[in-house]
Amino acid sequence: MALDNAEILKIAKLARLQVNANQVDDYADSISSILDLVDAMQKVDTDGVAPLANPLDAEQRLRVDEVTANNQRDDFMAIAPKAEAGLFLVPKVIE
Amino acid sequence: MSWEIVIGLEIHVQLATQSKLFSGAKVGFGAEPNTQTTLVDLGMPGALPVFNAEALRLAVMFGTAIDAEIGKRSIFARKNYFYPDLPKGYQTSQMDDPIVGLGHIDIELEDGSSKRIGVTRAHLEEDAGKSLHEDFDGMTGIDLNRSSTPLLEIVSEPDMRSAKEAVAYMRKMHAIVTTLGISDGNMAEGSMRCDANVSIRPKGQEEYGTRTELKNINSFRFIERAINVEVERQIDILEDGGSITQETRLYDADKNETRSMRSKEEANDYRYFPCPDLLPIIIDDDYINGIREQLPELPDQRRQRFIDDYQLSAYDSGVLSSSRTMADYFEAVQNACGDAKLSANWVTGELAKYLNANDVEIENSPVSSLQLGQLLARIKDDTINGKGAKTVFEELWHGAEDVDAVIAAKGLKQVSDMGAIEAMVDEVISNSPNQVQQYIDAEPEKRGKMLGYFMGQVMKASKGAANPGQVNGILKKKLDALC
Amino acid sequence: MSYTTIAQLSQGLKDGTFSSRELTQDVIADIKLRDHQYNSFITLSEELALAQAEAADKRIAAGQAAAMTGVPIAHKDLFCTQGVRTTAASKILENFVPPYESTVSQLFLDTGAVSVGKTNLDEFAMGSSNENSYFGKVKNPWDTNAVPGGSSGGSAAAVAAGLVAGATGTDTGGSIRQPAAFCNLTGIKPTYGRVSRFGIVAYASSLDQAGPMTHTAEDAALMMNVMAQFDPQDSTSMQMETPDYTANLNDSLAGLKIGVPKEFFEAGLDAQVAEATMNAIKQYEAMGAEIIDISLPNLQLCIPAYYVIAPSEASSNLSRYDGVRYGYRCDDPADLMDMYCRSRAEAFGEEVKRRIMVGTYALSEGFYDAYYVKAQRIRRMIKNDFVNAFSQVDVIMGPVTPSPAFDIGSKTSDPVAMYLEDIYTLSINMAGIPALSTPAGFVNGRPVGLHIMGNYFSEAKLLNVAHQLQQVTDWHQQQPQSLQGA
């Protein structure tokens, strides 16, 4: 499956990755070749085979509803790129 | 052309757990920003979710209460999108296999009939944080206290045909979740939020029109107004020959209009897939039945009991059972005074009037159910009359505590002493010769109406404290004796 | 001369031949002196290590030492370590110092092991050569022109160079076993769910599993005794007792049924590697084991299925690196979108970006069923192949890699050629079974590994089988020429 440049740009935007004009061809080539590899699956008959998400087919354990965490805000704020008044700051969000 | 309105609601209910859906952080409103977060809620590298057993129990309780299919194998999926208040870059939700499947509730319409509304599904998901747009040097602040708070998203069928039905549905859902105790239902704090899918179609047409989604309508009042204003907008467009764009719109309560949310307009592709950090939730019949057996009395059952046991009207019973706090309040009043009808009248009348006028929820009423019960007991035992009771109620509303103390201080104790009333009647009669003469001259069937003047004078003389029934009887007897 | 093992260090500490502090000082000095040749470490935590060593010495003196108390080890820089920079070999976490500890590294702290630092890797564990690191390539101590394998290449090189006796790794598609094979080590990927993933920077959640990399099976067993614990913080961690993995190392292998899948020896396998592998397997006949030809018919499909599932999960797992709460944020973002797109584009490496895009595509509307769901169905077919095989045999053996360590730079221009290197290891992660690599000789001076695979939770049996081979061969004791006399 070959992806064209528009598709690469669409995926890149969904993934929030800036792709410059001079990189698009390279990505289109390499990602298309990966998809070619992957497309070997398509000729396999998988009818009646249930998808396997967890190799052990295990089930979810439940956590008792208890507050176990302490306030670690200062630790987390200390490693934030930009923080003020206990908040993480980001460029203005426009709704 | 005559249009039919089609409405479906998506209600997000915050579940009343102590800790978050996937972490041991405290759930709570109003804390200092980012103080109720763990590395899980912040989406730190290597953080992993572990599912809260209580959230599961509350979701299953809801499902059993609306007679829904319960998912014995439900799956968490990731809904992928970037937003600063979504720390992991995905919301953990449920897609293909939700915890609650098809169910239904009944709503009561204004004409007294009831209507069944389908519930498509209800699924568990985590809430996002909050973006604070106050100015931080032109930046937005992110508070993740709400991140990973457990939500139940309840999706209805498009079964509602008017804004009033939508409000009735929302009110019934509110009554159910608060009665179950699965949520505090506090809409002002966002514990219950509503999105409405609204479309219109020509009456008689089978296929649905293009719908718009109204986001985050956070009070009963706004649901009705937002839907109505959106319906008007859609009718205007279609009648002008235009077409409706499928989009997300925000209701602006100040301007009473809806507007397109351009930020949500970008083609989103959420890339749902099963969350590999969480495993299928498997529950069995024993688990479900154990929860079903412990269901409290539900709003519909309580409403029926009010009709059967208290002989209240269907309408009053519906109003009084519309929330757990309202129903509990009413029953406490009735227990204290022993008169269900009087209690119902006061709770839906005087109390409701004060609550509405002051925009106070019944759980925050300054007049407690016990106080109101005591007050009504004083009407019942003829200590005060209805007018005096309203005076006492006003005092209680403004902070007075003891009913009998207010009655005494205001001199509202009803005068039921025959001699005293007769004396007041005699005085009024002797002071009103003209009115007495008119009474005598009037035709007998018109005299009843003319009694009002004398009643007023006597009540005034008694400063409102005379027992009106007694005054009426004595007046009539004495005046008729003059004729 | 041969390497010093964890077992020997443990004995020396217990006997008082040396203290943990002396040992740790030597190890750190040695790393400072020699690691520039290999670039196996990203961060050394000297002060913390010495403090841990002193605490260990007190425990030893008090007679409260466990087997690994006082033994210096290193962690792949994917395990979050409180107060010690954790980078995942990415610019995006270049300055990330976690305020929390991964469960695995905490378990080593609890038992008194000393962590001297964090080892290099392919960025976010994506790679098979350790050439995809923001902190530079790692070189193979056996031949510094060769790659050490990946993604746990730093851990492999550090142990192979004798800098530390053991290190942790993680294995999503072969990232412990392939570098172990390339560097002549014992490396085990436990059963999915055996070792906690909490606090390990995630690559592909349903495939990731941590394990030890050591010289000997006995050392691997000692590390597994510490690492393999149930963790309530990881929903996929299995609630079960931890056996003593050293207890059955000496069990007899008489009657052991060894399955050899024909698909492991088909086209693409280097003839000399095939020969070395079969030679190693034949050693077991002398121990009374039976060799049985088997088939894993869907083996080839593991590559396409893996390169859907792993990138899909990765594309979602790596969305959290958005420049909001931690990690790299670009300079002067024009707006929110610019901040996201530039921060991620500037700070993720090419292979990481490629996999994110492949995964984003595979999950996107209209393609999800054809890619992700299809791959999960194939995943079950692969698992079923192994379930069938283990109804006939006790363990499966074959090569770990199609060839010995390749030259640095020889495959970097062609990602697909690099992916094909993982043909023998990927299927194990897809099925979730445990597997290890143990030294099996050399081809042109570069090590070859024997791949031993077992049924779910059979780690003790795999270590027993590897240990028995190590009793009758000395491949695992060989040292690179450059180290001899060092």
Residues contacting A39, CB < 8 A, separation 6+: A1, C304
CA–centroid distance for B201 within its chain:
30
Does C408 reside within a domain? no
Does C321 reside within a domain? yes
- Cα–Cα distance between C13 and B176 in angstroms, integer? 66
User: Looking at the partner chain, which of C304, C319, C335 has a beta carbon nearest the beta carbon of A91?
Assistant: C335
- Cα–Cα distance between C60 and C63 in angstroms, integer? 5
Q: Which domain holds residue A23?
A: 5-43
List pLDDT tens digits, range B421-453.
888 888 888 888 888 888 888 888 888 888 888
| pLDDT score at B418 | 77
Asked if C9 and C71 count as a contact pair (C-beta separation under 8 A), the reply is yes
Q: Would the pLDDT of A92 be above 80?
A: yes
Of C367, C202, B274, C428, nearest in space to A53 by CA: B274
B43 phi-psi bin (left φ>0, alpha ψ -120 to 50, beta other)? left
| pLDDT score at B266 | 58
- Alpha-carbon gap: C105 to the closest alpha carbon of chain A (Å): 20
Q: Which of C19, C151, C312, C437 is catalytic?
A: C151
Residues in chain C predicted with pLDDT less than 70, given as ranges, are 1-2, 485-486
Mark which of C320, C354, C372 sits at the end of a domain.
C372
Residue C76 among the catalytic residues: yes
List pLDDT tens digits, range C213-247.
999 999 999 999 999 999 999 999 999 999 999 99
Asked if A80 and A88 count as a contact pair (C-beta separation under 8 A), the reply is yes
Does C270 reside within a domain? no
Sign of torsion, CA C317 C323 C326 C328? positive
List pLDDT tens digits, range C52-77.
999 999 999 999 999 999 999 999 99
| Domain co-membership, C117 together with C29 | yes
Residues of C in contact with A49 (CB under 8 A): 377-378, 380-381
Burial category of C416 from C-beta neighbours within 10 Å (exposed 0-12, middle 13-18, buried 19 and up): middle
Q: Would the pLDDT of A95 be above 80?
A: no
Task: For B321-350, give the DSSP string.
Answer: TSSHHHHHHHHHHHHHHS-HHHHHHHIIII
Q: Which of C10, C76, C129, C139 is catalytic?
A: C76
- Cα–Cα distance between B125 and B121 in angstroms, integer? 13
What's chain A look like in SS3?
Answer: CCCCHHHHHHHHHHCCCCCCHHHHHHHHHHHHHHHHHHHHHHHCCCCCCCCCCCCCCCCCCCECCCCCCCCCHHHHHHCCCCEECCEEEEECCCC
Quickly tell me which residue has 């993740």 as its tokens: B144
Asked if C94 and C323 count as a contact pair (C-beta separation under 8 A), the reply is no
Beta carbon pairs, A and B, within 8 Å: 121
Does C449 reside within a domain? no
Does C356 reside within a domain? yes
Q: Which domain holds residue C328?
A: 300-372
User: Looking at the partner chain, which of A58, A88, A93 has a beta carbon nearest the beta carbon of B133?
Assistant: A93
List pLDDT tens digits, range B309-319.
999 998 899 88
Residues 6-45 of A with CB under 8 A from C: 7-8, 11-19, 27, 30-31, 33-42, 44
- Alpha-carbon gap: C411 to the closest alpha carbon of chain B (Å): 30
- Cα–Cα distance between C151 and C125 in angstroms, integer? 5
Q: What is the ipTM of this complex?
A: 0.97
Residues in chain B predicted with pLDDT less than 50, given as ranges, are 265
| Domain co-membership, C174 together with C317 | no
Kindly report the CATH number that applies to the domain delimited by B418-482.
Answer: 1.10.10.410
| pLDDT score at C371 | 96
Asked if C198 and C231 count as a contact pair (C-beta separation under 8 A), the reply is yes
For residue B201, which amino acid is it? R
Query: Within 13 Å and on the Cβ side, how many CA atoms surround B377?
Result: 15
User: Looking at the partner chain, which of C236, C325, C361 has a beta carbon nearest the beta carbon of A80?
Assistant: C325
Does the beta-carbon distance from A50 to C322 stay under 8 Å? no
Does the beta-carbon distance from A66 to B136 stay under 8 Å? no
What's the CATH number where C59 sits?
3.90.1300.10
Total tally of structural domains belonging to chain A: 1
List pLDDT tens digits, range B278-308.
999 999 999 999 999 999 999 999 999 999 9
| pLDDT score at B265 | 47
For chain B, the structural domain boundaries read 3-290, 297-409, 418-482
| pLDDT score at C13 | 97
- Cα–Cα distance between B354 and B371 in angstroms, integer? 15
| Domain co-membership, C114 together with C11 | yes
Asked if C307 and C358 count as a contact pair (C-beta separation under 8 A), the reply is yes
Does the beta-carbon distance from A72 to C99 stay under 8 Å? yes
Mark which of C372, C389, C417 sits at the end of a domain.
C372
Residue A79, token pair as written in the block: 């490693």
Whether C413 has its CB under 8 Å from any CB of chain A: the answer is no
Search chain A and give the residue with CA nearest B44: A76
- Cα–Cα distance between A34 and C359 in angstroms, integer? 11
Does the beta-carbon distance from A77 to B23 stay under 8 Å? no
Does A37 reside within a domain? yes
Of C117, C305, C135, C105, nearest in space to C201 by CA: C105
